[in-house]
Amino acid sequence: MGVVGGAAATTAEEKPPVLPIDMICRTLFDSPQYSTKLRKRYHIEQDISGQALRDAIAETFAECVTLDRSVQPTLADIFKAGVLAIGSNSRPWHLFLGNLPKISDALYHFDAIAVKNVTSPEEDRRKVASQIKKLLGGITAGRDSTSILTFATSLASNPTYADDLKEAGDWFRHFLNNFTEHRVLESSVTICVALLLGNKACRRRALFHNDKIQKIDGMGVTLATEFLRNLGWPAFKPDRHIRETLSHWYTPETRTQYAGPIAQRVAQAFGGLTQLDLELVEIAALGAVATPPAMELNVADQLVWLYRATVGRIGLSTLSHNATEHKRLAT
């Protein structure tokens, strides 16, 4: 598959119709059908709905965001962020959350150096990997447990990893300085670093170089975006739920119109991107420009993701909302 991208991007970010956040909240938190489902799924014992339920679920998600981006992360913060990202892969999120305390104990409360020391003998490494595999569950548990231990070893060998991430972010922020809106700039920076961490080909072609920034085992671009979001970096994670939902609400023409120029500029930082990677960048950019101005990107992403995860693919297509919200937002 060839790379695309190279045309100059616009310097002003145009706006598509905003995401239907009010509709999402009414459907999830006011509807007895879905509010009951959410309370059960996230182990919320109180009989609550509406804003109270939204706040309770937001608190559950917030427990997984390691820290504010203005705070320099420790190695433990970074390791936890990676475990949360890898752990979110191919398994129900609420089930993973239920086992997170035991996973934390097995990983010495996300002490990467301790994990590396304990797992240095191959026999001990296999034992720990088997323990993590059982706690993760799912068809990718074996691969994911190995990736988690590999990430611990990598971090333990690079105590300046937080500085290296910051260096990469600063470089891409300077490269993308023609983006005039702060949230578009910052979300694009996140996606650029995610391309470095999640795609070997992108890392090879990137105009930015730092040998300490390597492809993270077990992470593609989507999980690498989740990893950075767990460290407080803002972005829409272009996973399956987000892609399906935004593609249902916005036409391809709308995505190209509003997110295409942003994606093309990002592509220039890598000497071009494959069509698949360009589509991921466009989805992330569309989510950023369609988020209501007063809302944080990571909050909007979580609501859109929760909507699709709760109502399902059939619900996404068949739920009856008011006439404005039911039709595609691009029309």
Q: What percent of the chain has pLDDT over 70?
A: 89
β-strand partners of 231: none
| Burial of 123 (C-beta count, 10 Å sphere; 0-12/13-18/19+) | exposed
12: tokens are 């002003």
Least confident of 20-24, 118-122, 173-177: 118-122
| Measured distance CA(146)–CA(91) in Å, rounded | 16
pLDDT computed for residue 324 by the predictor: 41
pLDDT computed for residue 131 by the predictor: 96
Mean pLDDT of 322-328: 43
Neighbouring CB atoms inside 10 A of 41's CB total: 18
pLDDT computed for residue 272 by the predictor: 96
Nearest to 238 by CA among 253, 217, 255, 254: 255
**Residue extents of the structural domains in the chain:** 3-23+172-326, 75-156
* Residue 319: pLDDT band with limits 50, 70, 90: low
* Residue 226: pLDDT band with limits 50, 70, 90: very high
Decide: pTM greater than 0.85: yes
Determine the 3-state secondary structure of 27 from DSSP: helix
Q: Is the pLDDT of residue 3 over 90?
A: no
Contact criterion met (CB below 8 Å) for 107 and 84 = no
Q: Please report which residue ranges of 218-251 form alpha helices under DSSP H.
A: 221-230, 240-249
Least confident of 1-15, 19-33, 165-179: 1-15
Mean pLDDT of 160-189: 95
Model confidence pLDDT, tens digit, residues 240-261: 999 999 999 999 999 999 999 9
Contact criterion met (CB below 8 Å) for 7 and 31 = no
pLDDT computed for residue 180 by the predictor: 84
Looking up tokens 């970010």 gives: 13
Q: Is the pLDDT of residue 155 over 50?
A: yes
pLDDT computed for residue 323 by the predictor: 32
